[in-house]
Amino acid sequence: MSTNIEVAAQAATIAADGQWPLWEVFTQSEQAAPHEHAGSLHAVDAEQAIQNARDVYARRGGVISLWVVPAGAITASSASDAGPLFDPGADKAYRHPQFYKAPRGVRVF
């Protein structure tokens, strides 16, 4: 079983040159807003990543919550896959309300 600890440990593996591991920082600007990617930083562990994220990305205020993720733990889709991954979603008109008709004068919502 792959625990979170293992994932974090692998993701935060030290580089050969002693460089601290890279973390990605996500900030939430207000309640109910999504966390958005703010940038990255280096830190040796999660506690330090949170502290550094606070000082680097929240020092001007406007942040109410932080996520930090070891950069290596993020799997990103590949640009060459963009066609098969995303284009098919772009032409499914039946997923959108405008596709469906309602009798004139009736409010459906």
Rounded to whole angstroms, the Cα distance separating 42 from 84 reads 34
Q: How far is the CB of 92 from another protein (least distance, A)?
A: 24
For residues 19 and 31, which CB has a smaller minimum distance to another protein in the complex?
19
Rounded to whole angstroms, the Cα distance separating 104 from 43 reads 60
Contact 58, 66 (CB under 8 A): yes
Number of residues that bind another protein (CB under 8 A): 37
Residues interacting with another protein, by CB under 8 A? 3, 5-6, 8-9, 12, 14-15, 17-20, 22, 24, 39-45, 47-48, 51-52, 54-56, 59-60, 71, 74, 76-80
